[in-house]
Structure 1
Amino acid sequence: MRASRSGMAPAVPYFCQWESAHLAGAIIRKELRLEDDPAWRASGARDVDEYARWASHVCGMACLKMVLAAESGRIHPTLELARRSLPYGAYAETDDGAIKGLIYAPFVRFVAREFGLEAEVREGLRTDELAQVMTRARYFIASVHPWIRWPEREPPSKGGHLVLVTRATAQAVTFHNPSGEPGTQADVCVALADFDRFFAGRGVAILGPA
């Protein structure tokens, strides 16, 4: 099933994990190197090398950026958020330089202490339980396969990417996708059965101010 747009003005501001949201398709197809993203400085990166190293790993921080913008009206640069989360262990850097994360439990501590947000890790969720989760949570950062940007495709696995769920019903899930291509970025709505093909059954529920 194809993704659709809700047709309503988004209640939650949208931010791409790559600063040039309109160029996301070219970045995904590797037609544009991250080093050549013309807006990289807006990320808060200290230099273009830091941006290129981190920008494809910060889908979770882009989700947090959206939440903070909606809750406070303040826009935090994505890589500044990532750096602030490091002392909490929200990401891990391996000896060979690989970046692992988002790591949920440290992230929950990070948002509580730095931003006063109450959040909780949820695992083992069925997709049809998301509507119930959203009766308590303002947002749900959901682990999905990155191919959710192409919902008509069959993903090879579930998880590996994070999107910000803003609404869930018994029929459909609405979300912002930090790595969506233009047209599948903000307020994307897919049928529950289609979301289930990508959803790994885990994520972080953000309940609101503590």
Structure 2
Amino acid sequence: MPRLLGEIMGCQACTPGAGSGRQALHDGVALFTQYMSAERIGAIAYDGADPADDPQWRLSGARTRAEYALWCRHCCGMACLQMVLDHRDGHAPPLLELLHGCRAYGGYVENADGQIKGLYYAPFADYVRAEHRLHADVHPHLAAAELPGLLADGHLVMASVHWEIRRPDLPAPGRGGHLVLITGHEHGLIHLHNPSGHTPGARRASLPMDVFESFFAGRGIALRMR
């Protein structure tokens, strides 16, 4: 039986109501990336490097390099799920194991032409409720100002942002298309773990609310234990 969020890590923010409108920080959330070799993310994102060349691809749980290369670009949500499960249990299933479990619920769809669609939020929520005993609330319309309240109520939040949030010093080229895990807020800063961050600072980032909001699509999934 999984322990309550925070019991294994001593995370006070995992207790509903333990946070406040000013501060709620989830301590000890491990970082998982959607690419097995984090130091290669910059080359993949900006230099056209092939994910299939990742020497650590087997850690993903993929059966072949080709399977890893096909799916890893779409696994930001699964890496966020790994972070949540690891925070609760002290370990998490491999990336591709989670992905195939989610696919069985319709969270991802591979079309006949090979095009991949997803992550679809409602099937994902069904999956994590049924298979991982997480409480999941889909928020199709979520204001950035609502995030502190969700965090204060014990949630970790998967938020849809533009992938270029990894370079917040540049103007946001859009909103949405990528998922990051919101782990806390304090004094106007949003703390997040980015599965495709290309530097250590991009992977564990703290951004002013207005900067975060410029990349944020206004939707996400709030997760915590039942």
1:23 to partner: Cα distance: 1.6
Name the amino acid aligned to 1:131: P
Superimposed CA distance per residue, residues 158-208 of structure 1 (whole angstroms, 9 cap, x where no aligned partner): 0000000001246110000000012234431000000000001100000x2
1:50 to partner: Cα distance: 0.3
2:78 matches 1:78: no
Identity of aligned residues (%): 43
Q: What is residue 14 of structure 1 aligned with on the other side?
A: 31
What is the TM-score when the length of structure 2 is the normalising length?
0.85
**Unmatched runs of 5 consecutive residues or more in structure 2:** 1-24
Aligned residue pairs, count: 202
Q: What is residue 32 of structure 1 aligned with on the other side?
A: 49
Q: What is residue 99 of structure 1 aligned with on the other side?
A: 116
Q: What is residue 89 of structure 1 aligned with on the other side?
A: 106
Q: What is residue 200 of structure 1 aligned with on the other side?
A: 217
For structure 1, which segment, 103-112 or 92-101, has the greater mean C-alpha deviation from structure 2 after superposition?
92-101
SS of the aligned residue for 2:201 comes to coil
Q: What is residue 225 of structure 2 aligned with on the other side?
A: 209
Whether contact under 8 Å (2:196, 2:203) holds in the other structure is no
Distance between the aligned counterparts of 2:68 and 2:36, measured in 1?
10
Distance between the aligned counterparts of 1:105 and 1:191, measured in 2?
29
For structure 1, which segment, 10-19 or 46-55, has the greater mean C-alpha deviation from structure 2 after superposition?
10-19
Evaluate the alpha carbon distance shift between residue 119 and residue 111 of structure 1 in structure 2; reply closer, same or farther with a 3 A threshold.
Answer: same
Name the amino acid aligned to 2:56: A
Q: What is residue 182 of structure 1 aligned with on the other side?
A: 199
Distance between the aligned counterparts of 1:185 and 1:151, measured in 2?
9
Whether contact under 8 Å (1:128, 1:170) holds in the other structure is no
Whether contact under 8 Å (1:92, 1:99) holds in the other structure is yes
For structure 1, which segment, 53-62 or 132-141, has the greater mean C-alpha deviation from structure 2 after superposition?
132-141
Q: What is residue 23 of structure 1 aligned with on the other side?
A: 40
Whether contact under 8 Å (1:130, 1:169) holds in the other structure is no
State which of 79, 86, 94 in structure 2 corresponds to 1:62. 79
1:209 to partner: Cα distance: 2.0
SS of the aligned residue for 2:148 comes to helix
For structure 1, which segment, 177-186 or 116-125, has the greater mean C-alpha deviation from structure 2 after superposition?
177-186
For structure 1, which segment, 130-139 or 74-83, has the greater mean C-alpha deviation from structure 2 after superposition?
130-139
**Unmatched runs of 5 consecutive residues or more in structure 1:** 1-7
Whether contact under 8 Å (1:134, 1:140) holds in the other structure is yes
Name the amino acid aligned to 1:52: A
Superimposed CA distance per residue, residues 123-156 of structure 1 (whole angstroms, 9 cap, x where no aligned partner): 2222122111212242000000000000011122
1:88-127 pair list within 5 angstroms: 88-127=105-144
What is the TM-score when the length of structure 1 is the normalising length?
0.91
Q: What is residue 166 of structure 1 aligned with on the other side?
A: 183
Q: What is residue 53 of structure 1 aligned with on the other side?
A: 70
The CA RMSD over aligned residues, in Å, is: 1.7
Distance between the aligned counterparts of 1:102 and 1:162, measured in 2?
9
Superimposed CA distance per residue, residues 76-130 of structure 1 (whole angstroms, 9 cap, x where no aligned partner): 1101100111110111112211111110000001001101000100122221221
Q: What is residue 5 of structure 1 aligned with on the other side?
A: none
Q: What is residue 20 of structure 2 aligned with on the other side?
A: none
